[in-house]
Amino acid sequence: MDLYTKSKEAILNGNTSLAEEIVKKAILENYDINALIDTLSEAIREAGDLFEEGEFFLPELMRSAEAMKAAMGILTPTLSQEKESRFIGKVVIGTIEGDIHDIGKTLVASMLSAEGFEVYDLGADVPVATFIDKAVEVDAHLICVSALLTTTMVGQKKLIDTLNERNIREKFKVLLGGAPVSKRWVEEIGADGTADNAISAVKLAKKLMVL
């Protein structure tokens, strides 16, 4: 079994210590970290599917999520070491209020910081006002808002509306993300863009900085 397959198994089995061990080994042996992250992301989605299908019990999915977070916790610092830090811009990022899904958001945050963005990660379940206050405080260029639930996507709209009400919409570019977010939603609420994975998220963020 190659290391990628093993890492996937570790996530699916919810084996935190094994997952940590494998990613540590991958770093030492100079594996392609982005490919590894892709594999891990695939694994957590598969765990989700198994749960949806009635195959997994909820605690098993939870253990997979725990293992995934632990692995990412080790991989993230190495991402930022890879590139010499050249400052591109400031980003405020978080998962919108009512939503605790933070794996994808954290991934985007790490990639952005790896590319040279100064990232303020507010975590999950973040109220609209907190996003905006932080963005104003640090004079951010981008606000990145993740929502994984169709019911919490409305928070993304609320954020745009609030920026408009406070007459500061033009000060920030707003990027949206999370599985249910579509281009159409972005247009409908007047955001500046979306991406369906962390790599394209970084590309988009960079593109918007040039403008």
| Contacting residues toward other proteins, per CB under 8 A | 14, 50-63, 65-66, 69
Q: Report residue 116 as tokens.
A: 């040279």
Q: Does 41 bind ligand B12 (CB under 6 A)?
A: yes
Q: Using the rule CB under 6 A, is 189 a contact of ligand B12?
A: no
For ligand B12, give the closer residue by CB, 22 or 68.
68
Compute the least distance from the CB of residue 98 to other proteins, in Å. 13
d(CA 116, CA 80): 8
Interface residue with ligand B12 among 52, 82, 133, 187 (CB under 6 A) is 52
Instruction: Give the nearest distance from C-beta 150 to ligand B12 in angstroms.
Output: 4
- Tell me the C-alpha distance between 100 and 64, whole Å: 15
The partner in contact with residue 57, picked from ligand B12, other proteins, none with C-beta cut-offs of 5 to 8 angstroms by kind, is: other proteins
Question: 56: how many CB neighbours lie within 10 A of its CB?
Answer: 20
Q: Verify binding: residue 33, ligand B12, rule CB under 6 A.
A: no
> Of 184, 178, 201, which Cα lies nearest the Cα of 99?
178
Instruction: Please report how close the Cβ of residue 73 comes to other proteins at its closest, in angstroms.
Output: 10
Rounded to the nearest angstrom, the gap between the alpha carbon of residue 192 and the centroid of all alpha carbons in its chain is 17
Please report where in the chains the tokens 């293992």 appear, as a residue: 67
Tracing tokens 């999520």 back to the chain, one arrives at 65
Residue number, 60 or 196, with CB nearest to other proteins = 60
- Does position 94 bind ligand B12 by CB under 6 A? no
From the list other proteins, ligand B12, none, pick the one residue 41 interacts with, judged by a Cβ distance below 5 to 8 Å according to partner type. ligand B12
**How far apart are alpha carbons 210 and 151 in whole angstroms?**
33
For the chain, the residue count is 211
Shortest gap between Cβ of 100 and other proteins (angstroms)? 9
